[in-house]
Amino acid sequence: MNKSQLIEALAKAENLALKKAEEVVNTVFGDMEKALANGERVEIRGFGSFKIKQYEGYQGRNPKTGEIINVSSKRLPFFKVGKELKERVDIV
Amino acid sequence: MSLTKASIVDSICNHSGCSKTQSIDLMESILKTIKMTLESGEDVLISGFGKFCVKEKKERRGRNPQTGDDLMLGSRRVVIFKCSFLLKDKINGKG
């Protein structure tokens, strides 16, 4: 499922115009993006939480050529699955 | 400070002009759709944000880190998140 399918599903389920559903979905993920860009945590009960992890730079190698390259430090979001979602997905 | 469902609901309310109750319903509806899709084993891709993937984990031999006892970990399904490069750039101040 991609974003436009999510928008369609929301429009259908909630009887909304497609345009409005798009606006709402963009608001939700836009807010999360902004929070993460500011280094804030995001916590959605039953779904999961995001936090920013700081990774130190290190010296790596290009596996093809063996050339040494410097990987600079970076920040990445880390998603921890919430209890409810974790249990629901695990049922096989 | 952390962003919670309540603050996202407020934001939906402000941006869309929907009532508070309707905004709550919309937020829950989005989450429900994503959860049901993942539950069915299908990935959810939000372009510009990231991808929620369902990954099958095989059965493997593990160890209880406290006692050192061998044990078998059963096969399971987990959700992993892959960050979009657009989001990564934003977080690292390049966006």
Q: Does B43 touch chain A (CB under 8 A)?
A: yes
What are B32-44's pLDDT values in tens digits?
999 999 999 999 9
Instruction: Looking at the complex, report in whole angstroms how far the Cα of residue A63 sits from the nearest Cα belonging to chain B.
Output: 22
This prediction's pTM = 0.87
Query: Mind listing the pLDDT tens digit of every residue in chain A (92 residues)?
Result: 999 999 999 999 999 999 999 999 999 999 999 999 999 999 999 899 999 999 999 999 999 998 999 999 999 999 999 999 999 998 76
Shared domain for B21 and B7, answered yes or no, is yes
Shared domain for B8 and B35, answered yes or no, is yes
Residues of B in contact with A3 (CB under 8 A): 45-47
Nearest Cβ partner for A40 among B2, B47, B90: B2
Give kind and range of the element (H or E) at residue B45: strand B44-46
Largest Cα–Cα separation, chain A: 57
Q: Which domain holds residue B57?
A: 41-95
Residue among B6, B89, B49 at smallest CA distance from A30: B49
Q: Is A89's CB within 8 Å of B39's CB?
A: yes
Total count of domains within chain B: 2
Shared domain for B84 and B45, answered yes or no, is yes
ipTM given for this complex: 0.86
Percent of chain A with pLDDT over 90: 95
E strands, chain A, are: 41-44, 48-55, 58-61, 68-71, 74-81
